[in-house]
Chain A
Amino acid sequence: MIPPAPALAEHPAALALAGRHRLRIWEPIPWALALAFYFAFPNYLGFGTELLITALFALSLDLALGYAGIITLGHAAFFGAGAYTVGMLAKHGIWNEPITSLIAAGATAAVVGLGSGLVLLRTQGLTLLMLTLCTMSLLEEAANMGHEYTGGFDGLDSVPIPPLFGLFEFNPLYPKTQYLYVLAGLFLCFVFVRMLVYSPFGQSLTGIRENTLRMHAVGAPVRARLVTCYTLSAAVAGIAGGLWAQANAYVNLTTLGLDRAATVIIILILGGYGRLYGAFVGAVAYMGLSHFLAQLYPTAWQLGLGLLLVAIALCARNGILGIGESLLRRFGVTRARS
């Protein structure tokens, strides 16, 4: 027997894996930027709040799609489940304290994720894609038909949200509280998702994404792992939906629609999936571009987004972050040579 040489633990590959989860030097930057935005653009905080919520929703999709490879076209089902939980509890006078309502939103979405995941995750590929879409459509139609509880097509507006901690008011015209509240929610969820993807559990999800059949052959309970991941992803999406309902003080059918589910996929692909920060980059790129293109070309702004997406799909499969990574690699190589 060769004794485990210390050289082995110092091997670059071992060191890379052992240090993978450590905080990288640039990681505080996006958070600093988000805080700076609060002070720099007080007139754009509504837009900023929407952006942060979208980033959180995209992050939840990244966990399922980017890491575990669960192909879904119905992720808005969980966003909507969370949003309607907050909206219905508050509107019907049952419960409206912001933070506990948010937990309820996450829990409800998790239950929907667990229930549908147990059935849907027996399938894969196109079948799974269609079934996730069907699940979302069913929920949307249920929300449409249950006027009495959900407000039907009109949704629920003027949802009463009391001040946070009894102090900070949710003012729809000056959404200062909303912005910081949503930023805090995003941060906590991000810490949770980051912990998950760097854990052995996250590593096994990557294994399932890379080769499901091999994961069976190494003895992994593949379906249980996928259902767990789907449930957690649903919970995060539900929190994003809950935040949306609280920040806007209304809920409507768009929270459950295909439009939202498709947009979040576009955002994730744009930013780069399976990369944690792809959700942020994608949300900023997509929403920033839509905002400015809509001002410049009010009638044809979607054309610009479409062209960008075609370019990404054709030339940069790993999204904007992927482009950055390959540039860095190329730069690193030239520097080493010279």
Chain B
Amino acid sequence: MTARLLETRGLSRNFGALAAARGINFRLDAGARHALIGPNGAGKTTFINLLTGVLHPTDGQVLLKGHDITAITEAERVKLGIARTFQINRLFRGISVLENVYVAVAERVGAAPSMVRPAGKRTDVIEESMHLLETLKLQDDARHRVSELPYGRQRLVEIAIALGLKPEVLLLDEPAAGVPSAESHIILDAIGGLPAHIGVLIIEHDMDVVFRFAERITVLVSGAVFAEGTPKEIAASPDVRAVYLGQAAHG
């Protein structure tokens, strides 16, 4: 029994003459582990930006649990349960790891607009943030500034901020990008330990990561869905090998 969580219908986006997304029909189920792959410039990040509301589509619809959210802003979509991480770190670099997560949790629980009570008195927010850091094994870094952490751990903070929003849909944009291979296992462990009920869409170039976690794979080429199926089907498809996996194997 799977529930339709996030869906797109004929989603298109043009930048001038460039069609970065063309008629994408896509579906993410609750609890899914779905990978989005494709060569550079295939429109993967554009697709994420359309799902999160950073970009608005030229045509088509985005639906969350059957409700049309195409016209809804980025901030409101976050409240509805869509969170993302970024391909290139977008962290609050000058403040501590704990404060990074605090900002996200405070926003979700509605504590953030409060001006009178000190932030430190919201022990519920602090405790939830610490607990989240513990599940990601980041508790020992909680006090450090993000800018003092090694890159791999900074990538974990990316995930921690997104999880602080208690999302139902989590979009991971190349979570292991730029992480040295000696550290990459901490990212893989974190992704493996994500709460089971969350629908996860992961963009990744590393085929080991993709085939390890994904239950379904969508291949995007030139802004359009080229193929979709289980990892076995995708690995076996001669067309996909031709456009993508073949090149990757040599690269």
Does B bind A? yes
**Additional A-B contacts beyond A8-B127, A199-B116 (8; CB < 8 A):** A9-B127, A11-B142, A18-B126, A200-B112, A202-B119, A207-B92, A216-B54, A219-B107
Q: Enumerate 10 A-B pairs (CB-CB under 8 Å) in ascending A order.
A: A8-B139, A11-B139, A13-B142, A199-B119, A200-B125, A206-B99, A211-B93, A214-B86, A214-B90, A217-B83
Are A198 and B120 also in contact (CB < 8 A) when A206-B92, A210-B94, A214-B92 are? Answer: yes
In the complex, A145→B41 CA distance in Å?
57
Chain A residue contacts of B95, Cβ below 8 A:
206-207, 210
Chain A interface residue number, banded: 35 or more
Chain A residues with CB under 8 Å of chain B are 2, 4, 8-9, 11-14, 16-22, 195-196, 198-204, 206-207, 210-211, 213-222, 225
**A-side contacts of B83, CB under 8 Å:** 217-218
Does A13 lie within 8 Å of B114, measured CB to CB?
no
Instruction: Tell me the bound Cα distance from A200 to B86 in angstroms.
Output: 24
Whether, in the assembled complex, B4 has its beta carbon less than 8 Å from a beta carbon of chain A, the answer is: no
Q: How far is the CA of A13 from the CA of B127 in the complex (A)?
A: 11
Complex contact B165–A8 (CB within 8 A): no
Distance in angstroms between the alpha carbons of A207 and B104 in the assembled complex: 9
Q: Find the B residue at minimum CB distance from A223.
A: B75
Cβ of B47 under 8 Å from chain A: no
CB distance from B90 to the nearest CB of A (A): 4
Give every chain B residue within 8 A of A20 (Cβ-Cβ).
Answer: 118-120
- Interface size range of chain B in the complex: 35 or more
B13 lies within 8 A of chain A by Cβ: no
Once the chains are docked, how many angstroms separate the CA of A198 from the CA of B118?
Answer: 5
Whether A18 lies near B120 (C-beta < 8 A) is yes
Please name all residues of chain B whose beta carbon is closer than 8 Å to the beta carbon of A196 when the two chains form the complex. 115
Closest to A216 in B: B74
Which listed residue (A14, A195, A198) contacts B130, Cβ 8 A?
A14
Contacts of B92 in A (CB 8 A): 206-207, 210-211, 214
Mark interface residues in B115-148 (1 if CB within 8 Å of A CB, else 0). 1111111110111001100110001001100000
Give every chain A residue within 8 A of B115 (Cβ-Cβ): 195-196, 199, 201-202
Min CB distance A275 to B, Å, is 12
In the complex, the answer to whether B127 meets A220 with C-beta atoms within 8 Å is: no
* Interface-central residue, B76, B77, B95, B135, by most chain A CB under 10 Å: B95
CB neighbours (8 Å) of B91 from chain A are: 210-211, 214
B135 CB to closest chain A CB (Å) equals 8
Q: Which 5 A-B pairs have the closest CB atoms?
A: A219-B78, A13-B142, A21-B118, A210-B92, A13-B143
| Contact digits for B140-168, partner A, Cβ 8 Å, 1 yes 0 no | 00110000000000000000010011000
Tell me, in angstroms, the Cα distance from A199 to B74 when the chains sit together: 25
Contact of A14 among B111, B117, B126, B161 (CB under 8 A): B126
Contacts A206-B95, A210-B92 given; does A17 touch B117 at CB 8 Å: no
> Could you tell me the distance between the alpha carbons of A204 and B104 in the complex, rounded to whole angstroms?
9
Report how far A11 CA is from B108 CA in the complex, Å: 23
Residues A204 and B112 in contact in the complex (CB < 8 Å), given A8-B127, A20-B120, A219-B107: yes
* CB pair A195 B142 closer than 8 Å: no
A4 adjacent to B127 (CB under 8 Å)? yes
A9, A195, A215: the one within 8 Å of B116 (CB): A195
Q: A204 with B126: in contact, given A195-B115, A198-B118 (CB under 8 Å)?
A: no
Question: A200 and B93: CB pair below 8 A?
Answer: no
Binary A-proximity of B94-112 (CB < 8 A = 1, otherwise 0): 1111110011101110011
Q: Are B118 and A4 in contact (CB under 8 A)?
A: no
Q: Nearest B residue to A10 by beta-carbon distance?
A: B130
Partner of B131, one of A8, A203, A217: A8
B193 in contact (CB, < 8 A) = no
Select one of A9, A12, A22, A204 contacting B103, CB under 8 A: A204
